[in-house]
Amino acid sequence: MALDPRPDMNLINQFSDRFFHAFYNREWLGECGQTVDFLSVSNAYAVQDLVAQKRIDRGETVVGFKVGCTSQAIRQQFGLTEPISGRLFHPYILEENCELDWRNYLGCAIEPEMVLTIGKELMGKHLPDDELVDSIESVRPGIEIHNFHFWHSPPSIQELISSGGIHAGLVVGAVKASPQELSFRDEMFSVYKDQIMVTKAPAKEIMGGPLHSLRWLVDFLTDKGQSLQKGSLVIPGSPTELVRIDQDTELKVAIERVGEATAFFRTQ
């Protein structure tokens, strides 16, 4: 990993063009004279910022944030001491029971997520649990969709950040739970393919619980002089491994005391 945090704007611009193109066209335009792991982590976030601006210029809207690499095992794999952040975009926020062609994604994979709707602006460092809980308007079950494909080998944290956390979309359930009724630690997350459970894990596997992930995100934004805006959606990470979708599948996520969300991955 590059240690020099000073931005090389020419290289950052070249990588932002390529990641922007790859998201829509599922192809890599070619190298930039350096591989992506030449970037520092701060450079990679600069690439992500430019890609986000290009998507906004295209007509999309940032509606919130995702937190990724929330498990200790994944952070150790990439040599990280903290998770990563990416953005959520409209029109890639979808309602449950939608039909999606899994072939439209590169290495289609999903994760179960709590979808937090933020009810008031948050800014500051190390906010206490009660303030975080009070800031959450509602919690819904969600299915995060990934383009689980890396253009460079071996996979690097720089590519993960530059790509926005390989995020491709979010299916949001209709049912809403009150945050005051949740422990944000013991709720069990389960994933079902064609009504057969394929994985499950408790919320505490997300950095000790989703509130720790939300706190990290607010800290991260505060360090950048930004706040988490009222109305934002936040997905704080998954306690389970990625689940690949490589054939027609009815996919259901169930989160204890929150509810269920279903999406149909079908060849169209």
3-state secondary structure (DSSP) of residue 189: strand
**Amino acid 154: pLDDT:** 87
pLDDT-derived band of residue 267, with 50, 70 and 90 as boundaries?
very high
Q: How many helices (H) and strands (E) does the chain have?
A: 6, 13
pLDDT tier, 1 (very low <50, low <70, confident <90, very high otherwise): very low
SS (H, E, C) 30-78: CCCCCCHHHCCHHHHHHHHHHHHHHHHHHCCEEEEEEEECCCHHHHHHH
Q: CA-CA distances (angstroms) from residue 107 to 102, 103, 125, 244?
A: 9, 8, 37, 7
Is a pLDDT exceeding 80 seen at residue 86? yes
- Element housing 198 (H / E): strand 196-202
Q: Are the CB atoms for 98 and 136 separated by under 8 Å?
A: no
The predicted model scores a pTM of 0.94
pLDDT at 35: 86
Q: Are strands 99-100 and 259-265 parallel, antiparallel or unpaired?
A: parallel
Pick the closest to residue 105 from 96, 94, 113 (CA basis): 94
Residues found in the chain: 268
